[in-house]
Structure 1
């Protein structure tokens, strides 16, 4: 059945009309942003001028890169009986001080096991999802792709594979006790667009969380009235996943701390170059 020309025209107009709730992004662009984020038609693209200086300022990538180099140097890493990185590897990676853990730095906990530092654990798991590391028989080894990219010092391709795996495959909910629904991770690129649009001025997490919720209102239904309101829980969940463990981990923002520790209620974030 052929759709009448006037109806087809109206559909095209609607799908390509900027929407206020999506900050002027059209439904068609949102579709690409959600389901084909890195395609030519998506509003989000990798920059052409990503150089070593830029890569050096991405903390989680630096952890992943050093992790790959450890495997390259030692040929393999033998995991603990529980399938985690051994303490020796954890300490070597943490001592690079790419991402400091507040609890470790304050002395509240000591770095004994992989679960003591979620940034290192997240980086390790993401390298596997990115096809750079292979786990078999309780050991981690480099894949053929990982080996080739390291030998040719192709840092940019390692970063792209790592970043895409972190945003599309690694479950952000794995690191917290909030609902397993992809709050923050779904349409992470929309948050990047918001940061590009508003990040020149310091803003609190709530500023962005409110706009994200307006664009994706169904996420509030996954929170119930318990220890705080659904809105407060949503804002906290979005803040931890998007700002604490994505934007900061990838060097997208700097934070103006109001207290000794990161406080998502009061701290203000500003985008980096």
Structure 2
């Protein structure tokens, strides 16, 4: 049954409950308003327990953090140990307070900055299996390129005359890991185009309803699960995305995994992974939320409710 048909049915049931009579158009509009409001607040089976009203905020207004947000009491020690925060600090520390950091002719990070991020070993990735030991520029190393973009989106840095300069908020964030993490994470979740580092045809997958993946991890991420598990629920909630053109078998699921997990939450250190299958350079993973995840996010389904209270 279509949602509109279900609402019409509920309106008729309410009219019947009132004796089958509606005295005016105003009364009918009031009945429709009450029924629609109630329907929008009820958990929807396609949304894994969320209501249409809650899903509206996740899709259309994630910046408000009405449903999913960062904790107010973020632990500075925990967030300072996250991978992208460490990488961000490497870049920020290379910016001269007065002269800035000279970029390449194409506006990329200098090789020294990229090499330092790579050699620090903070990203436990498979890149070294397919890349030369020394990374030459940020195009060779996705974490460096992502941090560069996120620092700009978070307005911690600005570019002038091909130099990266610290902003006032950037100077503040260097002294406060909570401010630094909050800025770069929100830039990733709310502003960053997650299709930037891949060649999948759809730009919508992973960008639309990204916070829904956070919600799914909060519910099911207590143990390792395949990406197919999360993709099935994601595309059930957003079936229009599953109908987008694909270039090869199962690419919708793979696209979600790359954007939300591999190039997203995993680079932050907010999910852990486990290899479940290997074929040459190709690896298939299962995923679970990390310890940091549980100390970072809060669900606001009916009140500010930490994730550990939802178990």
Q: Could you say whether these structures have the same fold, taking a TM-score greater than 0.5 normalized by the shorter chain as the test?
A: yes
Equivalent of 1:272 in 279, 290, 294: 290
TM-aligned CA distance change 1:262 to 1:46, over 3 Å: farther
Equivalent of 2:51 in 7, 23, 26: 26
Aligned-pair CA distance for 1:75: 4.2
TM-aligned CA distance change 1:108 to 1:128, over 3 Å: closer
CA deviations 1:208-252 (Å, max 9, x no partner) are 01110000011123224x4x33xx010110111111111211222
Is the contact between residue 158 and residue 164 of structure 2 (CA under 8 Å) also seen in structure 1?
Answer: yes
Partner of 1:201: 223
Q: Which ranges in structure 2 are unaligned for 5 or more consecutive residues?
A: 1-24, 292-311
CA distance in 2, matches of 1:77, 1:101: 27
Which structure has greater strand proportion?
2
Determine helix, strand or coil for the equivalent of 2:68.
coil
Partner of 1:177: 199
RMSD, aligned CA: 2.1
Partner of 1:124: 148
Aligned-pair CA distance for 1:188: 1.2
Partner of 1:99: 123
Is the contact between residue 38 and residue 44 of structure 1 (CA under 8 Å) also seen in structure 2?
Answer: no
Is the contact between residue 101 and residue 117 of structure 1 (CA under 8 Å) also seen in structure 2?
Answer: no
Aligned-pair CA distance for 1:177: 0.2
Partner of 1:62: 86
CA distance in 2, matches of 1:48, 1:261: 41
- Describe how 1:4-43 pairs up with structure 2 within 5 A: 4-39=29-64, 42-43=66-67
CA distance in 2, matches of 1:102, 1:9: 54
CA distance in 1, matches of 2:172, 2:83: 23
TM-score by length of 1: 0.89
TM-aligned CA distance change 1:202 to 1:25, over 3 Å: same
Aligned-pair CA distance for 1:49: 3.1
TM-aligned CA distance change 1:148 to 1:268, over 3 Å: closer
Q: Higher Cα Rg: structure 1 or 2?
A: 2
Aligned-pair CA distance for 1:254: 1.1
CA distance in 1, matches of 2:86, 2:282: 22
Is the contact between residue 172 and residue 241 of structure 1 (CA under 8 Å) also seen in structure 2?
Answer: yes
Aligned-pair CA distance for 1:73: 6.3
User: Number of residues paired by the alignment?
Assistant: 263
Q: Which has the higher contact order (CA 8 A, sep 6+)?
A: 2
Q: Which ranges in structure 1 are unaligned for 5 or more consecutive residues?
A: none
Determine helix, strand or coil for the equivalent of 2:243.
helix
Is the contact between residue 223 and residue 233 of structure 1 (CA under 8 Å) also seen in structure 2?
Answer: no
CA distance in 2, matches of 1:171, 1:5: 41
